[in-house]
Amino acid sequence: MSLVVQKFGGSSVANIERIENVARKVIASREAGHDVVVVVSAMKGETDRLNELAYGAAQNTTPRPREHDLLLSTGETVTIALLTMVLERMGSPARCLTGAQVRILTDSAFSKARIQDIDAESIRGDLGAGRIVVVAGFQGVDENGSITTLGRGGSDTTAVALAAALEADECQIYTDVDGVYTTDPRVVPTARRLEQVTFEEMLELASLGSKVLQIRAVEFAGKYQVPLRVLSSFQDGPGTLITTEGQNMQQGSMEEPLIAGIAFTRDEAKLTMIGVPDTPGVATQILGPVADANIEVDMIVQNISNDGLTDFTFTVNKTEYDRALDILSQQAKVLGAREVFGDSSIGKLSLVGVGMRSHAGVASRMFKALAAEGINIQMISTSEIKISVVTDEKYLELGTRALHKAFELDDRSGKTVSVEGQSD
Ligand code: ADP
Ligand code: ASP
Ligand code: MG
What confidence score (pLDDT) does residue 139 get?
Answer: 98
Ligand 2 nearest-atom number relative to CA 152: 9
Report which protein residue has its CA nearest ligand 2's atom 6.
Answer: 153
Which of 7, 11, 13, 47 to probe ligand 2 with, by most ligand atoms within 8 A of CB? 47
- 391 among the known binding-site residues? no
Rounded percentage of the chain residues whose pLDDT exceeds 90 = 89
Predicted model pTM: 0.92
3-state secondary structure the chain: CCEEEEEECHHHHCCHHHHHHHHHHHHHHHHCCCEEEEEECCCCCHHHHHHHHHHHHHCCCCCCHHHHHHHHHHHHHHHHHHHHHHHHHCCCCEEEECHHHHCEEECCCCCCCCEEEECCHHHHHHHHCCCEEEEECCEEECCCCCEEECCCCCHHHHHHHHHHHCCCCEEEEEECCCCCECCCCCCCCCCCECCEEEHHHHHHHHHCCCCCCCHHHHHHHHHCCCCEEEEECCCCCCCEEEECCCCCCCCCCCCCCCCCEEEEECCEEEEEEEEEECCCCHHHHHHHHHHHCCCCEEEEEECCCECCEEEEEEEEEHHHHHHHHHHHHHHHHHHCCCEEEEECCEEEEEEECHHHHHCCCHHHHHHHHHHHCCCCCCEEEEECCEEEEEEEHHHHHHHHHHHHHHCCCCCCCCCCCCCCCCCC
- 175 among the known binding-site residues? yes
Indicate if ligand 1 lies below 6 Å from the C-beta of 9.
yes
* Phi-psi label, residue 265: left if phi above 0, alpha if psi -120 to 50, beta otherwise: beta
Q: Compute, in angstroms, the gap from residue 116 CA to the centroid of ligand 1.
A: 27
Report which protein residue has its CA nearest ligand 1's atom 7.
Answer: 212
Indicate if ligand 1 lies below 6 Å from the C-beta of 222.
no
What confidence score (pLDDT) does residue 304 get?
Answer: 86
Indicate if ligand 1 lies below 6 Å from the C-beta of 382.
no
- The residues whose Cβ lies within 5 A of ligand 3, an ion, are 9, 153
Which ligand places an atom closest to the C-alpha of 50?
2
Q: Compute, in angstroms, the gap from residue 420 CA to the centroid of ligand 1.
A: 10
Residue 342 has pLDDT above 90, yes or no: yes
Q: What domains can be seen in the chain, in order of their start residue?
A: 3-175 (3.40.1160.10), 262-406 (3.30.2130.10)
Report which protein residue has its CA nearest ligand 2's atom 5.
Answer: 153
Confidence of residue 423 (pLDDT cuts 50, 70, 90): very low
Indicate if ligand 2 lies below 6 Å from the C-beta of 73.
no
pLDDT tens figures, 79-113:
999 999 999 999 999 999 999 999 999 999 999 99
Report which protein residue has its CA nearest ligand 1's atom 17.
Answer: 212
Confidence of residue 251 (pLDDT cuts 50, 70, 90): very low
- 315 among the known binding-site residues? no
Ligand 2 nearest-atom number relative to CA 41: 7
Q: What is the mean pLDDT of residues 300-306?
A: 88
Indicate if ligand 1 lies below 6 Å from the C-beta of 181.
yes
Q: What is the mean pLDDT of residues 306-334?
A: 94
pLDDT tens figures, 208-230:
999 999 999 999 999 999 999 99
